[in-house]
Structure 1
Amino acid sequence: MRELRPLTPDRVGDLVGPCAPCTFWQTVPRNGHSDPREPLEQLADWVETVTADWGPPGRVAYVDGQPAGHVLVAPARHVARLAAFATSPSDPSTLMLVTAVMTPPYAGGGLRKVLVQSAAKDALRHRARSLEVVAARPLAVSRHSCVLDVAFLEKVGFRVERDHPAYPRLRIELRTVVTLRDEAAAAVARVLARVPGVRPVPETHPNGSSHASVTDRA
């Protein structure tokens, strides 16, 4: 079974990736000192804060009950690390794609695109007109693994909004992606069909046809 579940404080332990649990985007060292709390505690507090102000800041993907990836999205005012980038948006209400991370064997299979699509779909629910992201070009020095790459984002529809040699800010107009739900379900089915040992769950429609589906739990 494949599911995309809202990110809640009790699910921060299911965040995946090479640096998980990671607070890169949520924190900025002050006067050379970092927050002394454990990363999971910091993340849980961040999720709770964003949820109270805006809504669940992302989704966690599960395959057969196991965490497979996650996507984070939040208004810029809740993404503290943006202040370290020259291309950070001036409007604190700008909705930002923070990161999208997958774990093997799904890292190269297309599920990351599905996660980005789910973030855009959540943005649409909030009546947002666009979604922005600060990303990295190959010239970026000491790039953090939670910073998405420009090439991937351009493939899924983002375009440069404010250019920079290393860390441009990209933007996608959400009116161009109004069919995200069906596209995401179809993409998940195609990707998981190629993963050994994972079989799509058929979903029967009124017309008698069937296709594999992804569960999108609110």
Structure 2
Amino acid sequence: MSTSVTALTLDGLDQLPAHTRRCVFWELDPAVAADSHGLCDPVFEKEAWLSTVMLEWGSCGQVAHVEGSRPSDRNIAGCALYSPPSAVPRASLFPTSPVSPDAVLLTTLQAEFPYEEADVAHRLIQAVVADLVRRGVRAIEAFGIRNGPASSSVADRGFGSSMRLMERIAAPLRDPAAATRCTPETCMIDADFLEDVGFEVVAQHHRFPRLRLELNTDHLWKEDVERALDQLLAAASMTPPARVGVF
């Protein structure tokens, strides 16, 4: 089983996970949603938002697929969405707003059941970083969510916090009714997980801290080096050992 991550395109909106495709937690102004009395079509609203951002700004998402033992086995494993904060109505409503003017806002990080343990979230973050570094973006920021007291160290958070994140964002698929609900718990990224992958808190809050990841060419350089090493290792594993002559 291998994981691949590709940029979201206008032709690939149907590749988004079920919950993300319907979720307008970030994209629709809460006041507008309340005035509509539930009459708006969330799928249409999400597609309209994505189309507008991609046409005006460029790709704003990464989609992960997991390929099985057969070529036809290619399943959606998760996605990440990001955009200029000015395109996100809810970005101005948090107690830790506003997002820094030099940053792009990461709004969605979704890992699908049963791929929570397949390192999908980390692969998606790497793809987002690589895309934004190439586009000259200085930083990524995100509003995290905490469901309990902040951990005292990264070691204490570690694998457990990542699993809590995966369990929560996979819940909509386990519970079909939850797929239609957009709440902070189902639509926001775990703050501990963001810290684990390198984000730092720049605006403290017991519930909704704002975190930031500085971007520079080192991120891209490290990714290129890691990719080259993987290719070398793969090539070495396919090269048969030279025969030793007998004299």
In the alignment, is residue 177 of structure 1 matched against residue 180 of structure 2? no
Going from structure 1 to structure 2, the CA distance change for 1:28 and 1:16 (only over 3 Å counts) comes to same
Going from structure 1 to structure 2, the CA distance change for 1:82 and 1:206 (only over 3 Å counts) comes to closer
In the alignment, is residue 33 of structure 1 matched against residue 74 of structure 2? no
Q: Distance in 2 between matches of 1:182 and 1:101?
A: 27
Task: Name the % identity.
Answer: 31
Q: 1:82 aligns with which of 57, 82, 91?
A: 91
Cα shift at 1:14: 2.2
TM-score, structure 2 length as denominator?
A: 0.68
Cα shift at 1:8: 2.3
SS at match of 1:209: helix
Bigger radius of gyration among the two: 2
Alignment of 1:83-98 (within 5 A): 83-89=92-98, 91=100, 94-98=103-107
> Are the counterparts in 2 of residues 57 and 73 from structure 1 also a CA contact under 8 Å?
yes
Q: Distance in 2 between matches of 1:27 and 1:158?
A: 26
Cα shift at 1:100: 0.8
Task: Write the deviation string for residues 48-102 of structure 1: whole angstroms up to 9, x where unpaired.
Answer: 1111221111111112322110000111011111122121225566301111101
Query: Post-superposition, which runs of at least 4 consecutive aligned residues in structure 1 deviate over 4 A?
Result: 17-20, 90-93, 181-186, 203-207
Q: Which runs of 5+ in 2 are unaligned?
A: 68-73, 150-182, 239-247
Alignment of 1:5-20 (within 5 A): 5-16=6-17, 18=19, 20=21
Cα shift at 1:205: 5.0
Going from structure 1 to structure 2, the CA distance change for 1:51 and 1:163 (only over 3 Å counts) comes to same
Alignment of 1:112-191 (within 5 A): 112-139=121-148, 143-175=184-216, 177-178=219-220, 179-181=222-224, 183=226
In the alignment, is residue 61 of structure 1 matched against residue 64 of structure 2? yes
State the Cα RMSD in Å.
Answer: 2.9
Going from structure 1 to structure 2, the CA distance change for 1:53 and 1:210 (only over 3 Å counts) comes to farther
- AA matched with 1:123: L
Give the number of aligned pairs.
194
Q: Which runs of 5+ in 1 are unaligned?
A: 187-202, 212-218
Q: Which has the higher helix share?
A: 2
Task: Write the deviation string for residues 165-199 of structure 1: whole angstroms up to 9, x where unpaired.
Answer: 1101000111252323555899xxxxxxxxxxxxx
SS at match of 2:11: helix
